């Protein structure tokens, strides 16, 4: 049994969101969050979640505040379920207090669950006295939200699906560091009328597995696309990289749209962003940008520093685009401190 360290003091951890370039969509085990295919992402700069956790014998229940407000409902339940996993691993029976802050709008479609559960995995395991490696932390973060397994690492990250039923071989690993491709940029295009998520991703993807006639074809091709993307990244092949992320995004959208009932995450403005990227490439005569999106209406447009002004001014003119933010590959999750009060 591990000793919470130091007892009743807050352990702090920070993590950034990631954007999937090859998507995780479908689980082979939904309790252990074991995916059906490996995925590949980029952890981003500038955005982050900071989370402080303490286990305290005087607490009568778990507490969770998000951006200074007590959380309830689904978010609180998700945090409690996750703490149960940590308590079991650490042999700790105390309740915990969690204080979490995002420096970006929560549930804005900017993957707050990835940075949120990565930061919580780090803070809670530290507070519970578990001295874990990043790989072990990645395995733990996965239990909160699959994509969180990738936010433990910076730069370009692959989450390997593994084969074992117990998930011991299912964790993320860093592929290339954040400074691997210094010119690469991710312009996040925020859509003003982005609807709230109606169905959690974890549930929606299982509906896809069950009902989409395109899903088995995706499962046949996705590993090859991941390998090709790994090579495009390693060799910094801009044209291949941009083509592959769009091909993957289109495939992901196809399985969502053919799910019964159909999952349509985009708004007309999001679709106008995708069309503008294709038009920019057509006019340039070669690829200057590539799009991708997750289970939400916002779009990530990848490009290179020299094209940012051109691409950004085009995207900003699209009706319904509320803001654009230019991000780069970002850092790994890290400890931010241990103290008697949270920051």
Binding region for ligand PMV (CB under 6 A): 20, 23-25, 39, 113, 145-147, 201-202, 294-295
User: How many CB atoms within 10 Å of residue 331?
Assistant: 17
User: How many CB atoms within 10 Å of residue 106?
Assistant: 16
The distance of closest approach from Cβ of residue 159 to ligand PMV in the complex, given in angstroms and rounded to an integer, is: 8
The distance of closest approach from Cβ of residue 20 to ligand PMV in the complex, given in angstroms and rounded to an integer, is: 3
The distance of closest approach from Cβ of residue 272 to ligand PMV in the complex, given in angstroms and rounded to an integer, is: 21
- Whole-number Å distance between alpha carbons of 46 and 104: 9
- Whole-number Å distance between alpha carbons of 252 and 25: 8
With 0-12 / 13-18 / 19 or more C-beta atoms within 10 angstroms meaning exposed / middle / buried, residue 309 is exposed
- What residues contact residue 113 under an 8 Å CB cut-off, 6+ apart? 144, 145, 147, 148, 201
The distance of closest approach from Cβ of residue 316 to ligand PMV in the complex, given in angstroms and rounded to an integer, is: 25
The distance of closest approach from Cβ of residue 57 to ligand PMV in the complex, given in angstroms and rounded to an integer, is: 33
Q: Write the DSSP string, 191-206.
A: ETTPPPPSS-HHHHHH
Of residues 201 and 324, the one with the C-beta less far from ligand PMV: 201
Q: Are 159 and 39 in contact (CB under 8 A)?
A: yes
Main-chain phi, psi angles of 320, to 5 degrees: 95, -5
Of residues 102 and 145, the one with the C-beta less far from ligand PMV: 145
Q: Are 265 and 256 in contact (CB under 8 A)?
A: yes
**What separation in angstroms does the CA of 143 have from each of 33, 117, 136, 243, 274?**
6, 9, 12, 32, 32
Length of the chain, please? 343
**Positive or negative CA dihedral for 86, 92, 93, 96?**
negative
The distance of closest approach from Cβ of residue 160 to ligand PMV in the complex, given in angstroms and rounded to an integer, is: 13
The distance of closest approach from Cβ of residue 114 to ligand PMV in the complex, given in angstroms and rounded to an integer, is: 6
């Amino acid at each position: 049994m591990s000793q919470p360290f130091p007892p009743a003091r807050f352990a702090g951890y920070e993590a950034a969101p990631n954007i999937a370039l090859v998507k995780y969509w479908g689980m082979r085990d939904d309790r252990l969050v074991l995916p059906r295919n490996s995925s590949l992402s980029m952890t981003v700069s500038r955005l982050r979640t900071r989370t402080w956790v303490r286990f305290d014998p005087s607490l009568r229940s778990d507490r969770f505040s998000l951006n200074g407000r007590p959380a309830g409902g689904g978010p609180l339940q998700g945090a409690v379920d996750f703490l149960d996993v940590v308590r079991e691993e650490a042999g700790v029976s105390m309740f915990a207090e969690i204080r979490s802050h995002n420096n970006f709008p929560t549930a804005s479609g900017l993957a707050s669950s990835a940075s949120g559960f990565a930061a919580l995995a780090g803070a809670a395991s530290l507070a519970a006295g578990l001295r874990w490696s990043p790989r072990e932390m990645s395995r733990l973060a996965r239990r909160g939200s699959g994509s969180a397994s990738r936010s433990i690492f910076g730069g370009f990250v692959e989450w390997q699906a593994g084969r074992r039923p117990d998930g011991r071989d299912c964790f993320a690993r860093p592929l290339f560091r954040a400074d691997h491709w210094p010119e690469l940029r991710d312009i996040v295009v925020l859509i003003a009328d982005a609807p709230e998520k109606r169905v959690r991703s974890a549930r929606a993807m299982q509906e896809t597995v069950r009902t989409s006639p395109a899903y088995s074809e995706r499962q046949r091709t996705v590993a090859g696309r991941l390998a090709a993307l790994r090579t495009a990244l390693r060799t910094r092949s801009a044209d291949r990289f941009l083509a592959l992320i769009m091909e993957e995004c289109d495939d992901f959208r196809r399985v969502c749209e053919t799910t019964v009932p159909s999952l349509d995450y985009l708004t007309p403005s999001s679709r106008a962003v995708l069309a503008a990227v294709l038009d920019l490439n057509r006019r340039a005569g070669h690829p200057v940008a590539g799009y991708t999106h997750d289970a939400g209406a916002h779009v990530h447009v990848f490009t290179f520093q020299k094209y940012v002004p051109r691409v950004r001014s085009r995207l900003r003119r699209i009706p319904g685009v509320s803001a654009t933010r230019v991000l780069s590959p970002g850092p790994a999750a890290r400890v931010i401190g241990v103290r008697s009060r949270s920051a």
